[in-house]
Amino acid sequence: MCGIVGFIGERKAAPILFEGLERLEYRGYDSAGIAVLNKDVITTRKTTERIKMLREITENGQGIPGSLGIGHTRWATHGAPSERNAHPHVSNDGKFAVVHNGIIENYITLKEELIQKGFIFESETDTEVVVHLLANYYKGNLIEAVVKAAKRLEGSYALGIICAHEPDVLVAVRRLSPLILGVGIGESFIASDVTALISHTKTVMYLEDGEIAEIKKSGIRVFDKAGSPVEKSTTEINWNIDAAEKSGYDHFMMKEIMEQPRAVRATLEPRIKNGKIKLDDISITAADLKNVNRIIITACGSASYAGQVGRYVLEELLRIPVEVDLASELRYRNPIINEHTLLIVISQSGETADTIAALKEAKGRGARVLSLVNVVGSTIAKMSDDVLYTWAGPEIAVATTKGYSTQLALLYLFGVYAAELLGNRTGEECAEMITELQNLPEQIEQALILNDNIITLAQKYHKNQSIFFIGRNIDYAVSMEGSLKLKEISYIHSEAYAAGELKHGTISLIDNDRLVIALACYERLFDKLMSNIKEVKARGAKVLATAIVGNTKILTEADDVMYIPRTNPLFLASVEVIPLQLLAYYVARDNGCDIDKPRNLAKSVTVE
Ligand code: F6R
């Protein structure tokens, strides 16, 4: 949801900004721009195309002198994608430039006030009020102007600011939108996430909500929202630049699909010691769990579908009622949540606006909050009582794969851990499940190998315009993720249906050659699912099924089958999702879609 970068140092800023923006392009890519200060002149360049175009029109940045600059890659919220609306926005006197990620909710009121004062607006964006506010408040000290302007802003923002009156300073400020400072030698950076900094420095500083950073070549000073200095420490990033590169794959999505055995291992292994689960990162005790009479899992999109799997698994293991509540709905309901509720928040980015709002709502009503998050130091991680990190490494493709898989792994870990704490499962039963969990990375690997026929299946089915996924129990939960993966990257309409529900209306859409993807790995309900397959076959549908390796009965009805290795049925989703991810990928590829950056989407949805 927009990416921002900034640089101050001795080197030329523009090429560094381009490199950072290219790494952040997954966050939004409908327009882009940079502003660079040289002596006392701010030069901007913008495009409604990709960063590649900015490189072309500036001789790779060599045509723009200056060692202080900011850049932006946009996912439009206020105002269509156009050069006028692209960031950076510049003040009427050309002295201030601003890049912004987030939404200024009170921009209409501020805009009216600033127009009254004579400021002229060039764009339809909410961001432009910020740059005029700064010009309005500036009386010779940029930090003071930022403190005053920030007090007037409602909503969410991460801002990068430069000012021609102060050519040796880059200012950053954030509230409810991500922003990281990179500390180099004689140079500093700002960026929406670590991937944009990691090729220059591994030393970073996280800004808290409301904090303002004054960034100079000689160092960084941080102030609170009142302008008083704050002591900050730095953190070292423990992964390398290769994690943010394609490493020979055509797309990040395929690289990340292939990384799943490693990512799931990285989630599980450090938390299993001598055959026991050790969740040292959280403080939930048996007494805390006994106090819980309801678990609510809240999240958006794929993270909520991981939650759907979690619901089956946790109810089975803990015998506590579990609901999955979409964050965008929970935040505006009057939910029944109290101090006996455990809220499990799932988010890869840790910055999803609806999820943050749902967390706040539930916390305000007394819930204890456990979050499962990938991005260290993210807003959701900071707001939670307990955090379990997924340790998936950076996920760049817009469509999540390893993010989802590592979320599942944490749900299983927590489920088995809590089952033992509650005494719902014996030590022996838990030990058996832990061994099965330890086998998961290998089973995921086998699922990747078993499914090299999916390229052919994609060629056969990629022209379908509407596809149904059906399943029961965990197969149904996985079908939701399979359907989302397919539609978001291939633009083929698709729906996930509880197999038993189809005949209550939707079956009227099944006709000759309609493709139904039937998930048939949950063996306890296999025969029931077979009946549902027969129902759609009888109406002319083609059926592509998933099944556990060795299942030949499925061949009596299905036209094609994607096999997966046998697992504990509770952990089935981790293996079954693999062929569905591969199918979505190859179908999108055969349809010529932009796999890593599907239209209209952005990776981290930091607006409502
Ligand atoms: C789909 C996808 C999205 C995210 C959703 C939540 O492939 O990635 O549906 O799962 O936007 O994002 P996070 O997990 O960052 O909160």
Ligand 1 pocket test, pick from 352, 395, 489 with the greatest ligand atom count within 8 Å of Cβ, gives 352
Ligand 1 pocket test, pick from 302, 346, 599 with the greatest ligand atom count within 8 Å of Cβ, gives 302
- 488 pocket-lining for ligand 1 (C-beta < 6 Å): yes
> What pLDDT is stored for residue 303 in this prediction?
98
pLDDT at 510 over 80: yes
SS3 for 103? strand
pTM of the model: 0.84
pLDDT at 483 over 80: yes
Instruction: Check if 2 is active-site.
Output: yes
Nearest atom, ligand 1, residue 349 CA: 15
Q: What is the mean pLDDT of residues 522-532?
A: 97
238: pLDDT confidence band, cut at 50, 70 and 90?
A: confident
SS3 for 69? strand
pLDDT at 601 over 90: no
Q: What is the mean pLDDT of residues 139-153?
A: 97
Q: Backbone phi, then psi, for 62, in 5-degree steps?
A: -65, -25
Ligand 1 pocket test, pick from 192, 328, 395, 400 with the greatest ligand atom count within 8 Å of Cβ, gives 400
323: pLDDT confidence band, cut at 50, 70 and 90?
A: very high
319: pLDDT confidence band, cut at 50, 70 and 90?
A: very high
> What pLDDT is stored for residue 525 in this prediction?
97
DSSP per residue, 301-317: HHHHHHHHHHHHHHHHH
Ranking 40-54, 360-374, 456-470 by mean pLDDT, the lowest is: 40-54
pLDDT at 608 over 80: no
pLDDT one-digit tens code per residue, 247-258: 889 999 999 999
259: pLDDT confidence band, cut at 50, 70 and 90?
A: very high
Domain ranges of the chain: 3-243, 246-448, 454-590
The pLDDT > 90 percentage for the chain reads 86
**Helix then strand then coil, % of the chain, to nearest 5:** 40, 25, 35
Nearest atom, ligand 1, residue 355 CA: 16
Instruction: Specify burial of residue 238 (Cβ count, 10 A radius: 0-12, 13-18, 19+).
Output: exposed
Query: Nearest to residue 510, comparing CAs of 536, 489, 484?
Result: 536
DSSP 488: H
> What pLDDT is stored for residue 26 in this prediction?
80
Tokens of 125: 């964006």
Q: Which of 2, 163, 300, 521 is catalytic?
A: 2
The C-alpha atoms of residue 462 and residue 486 are separated, in whole angstroms, by 10
pLDDT one-digit tens code per residue, 300-318: 999 999 999 999 999 999 9
- 347 pocket-lining for ligand 1 (C-beta < 6 Å): yes
> What pLDDT is stored for residue 178 in this prediction?
87
Residues 6+ apart with CB under 8 A from 438: 268, 269, 272
More confident residue, 80 or 300: 300
Q: How far does residue 302's CA lie from ligand 1's centre (Å)?
A: 5
- 348 pocket-lining for ligand 1 (C-beta < 6 Å): yes
CATH number for region 3-243? 3.60.20.10
DSSP 33: E
Q: Which of 402, 487, 542, 603 is catalytic?
A: 603
Average pLDDT of every residue of the chain: 94
> What pLDDT is stored for residue 28 in this prediction?
77
The C-alpha atoms of residue 477 and residue 302 are separated, in whole angstroms, by 11
The C-alpha atoms of residue 16 and residue 81 are separated, in whole angstroms, by 24
> What pLDDT is stored for residue 74 in this prediction?
86
> What pLDDT is stored for residue 600 in this prediction?
85
Residue minimizing CA distance to atom 3 of ligand 1: 301
Evaluate whether 3-243 and 454-590 have a shared fold: no
Q: What is the mean pLDDT of residues 113-141?
A: 96
Q: How far does residue 300's CA lie from ligand 1's centre (Å)?
A: 6
Q: How far does residue 495's CA lie from ligand 1's centre (Å)?
A: 18
SS3 for 67? coil
pLDDT one-digit tens code per residue, 447-475: 998 877 899 999 999 999 999 999 999 99
Q: How far does residue 308's CA lie from ligand 1's centre (Å)?
A: 14
Query: Nearest to residue 463, comparing CAs of 348, 607, 591, 566?
Result: 591
- 355 pocket-lining for ligand 1 (C-beta < 6 Å): yes
- 195 pocket-lining for ligand 1 (C-beta < 6 Å): no
- 451 pocket-lining for ligand 1 (C-beta < 6 Å): no
- 349 pocket-lining for ligand 1 (C-beta < 6 Å): yes
Residue minimizing CA distance to atom 9 of ligand 1: 301
Q: What is the mean pLDDT of residues 398-408?
A: 97
Instruction: Check if 603 is active-site.
Output: yes
Q: What is the mean pLDDT of residues 192-220?
A: 93
Nearest atom, ligand 1, residue 301 CA: 9
The C-alpha atoms of residue 459 and residue 457 are separated, in whole angstroms, by 5
Peptide bond between residue 321 and the one before it cis (omega within 30 degrees of 0): no
The pLDDT > 70 percentage for the chain reads 100
pLDDT one-digit tens code per residue, 537-557: 999 999 999 999 999 999 999
Fold of the CATH domain 454-590: Rossmann fold (3.40.50)
Q: What is the CA radius of gyration of the chain?
A: 25
pLDDT at 241 over 90: no
More confident residue, 373 or 450: 373
Q: What is the mean pLDDT of residues 397-413?
A: 97
Q: How far does residue 328's CA lie from ligand 1's centre (Å)?
A: 13
- 301 pocket-lining for ligand 1 (C-beta < 6 Å): yes
| DSSP strand pairing (229-230 vs 219-223) | antiparallel
134: pLDDT confidence band, cut at 50, 70 and 90?
A: very high
| The CATH homologous superfamily of the domain defined by 246-448 | Glucose-6-phosphate isomerase like protein; domain 1 (3.40.50.10490)
Nearest atom, ligand 1, residue 604 CA: 15
- 352 pocket-lining for ligand 1 (C-beta < 6 Å): yes
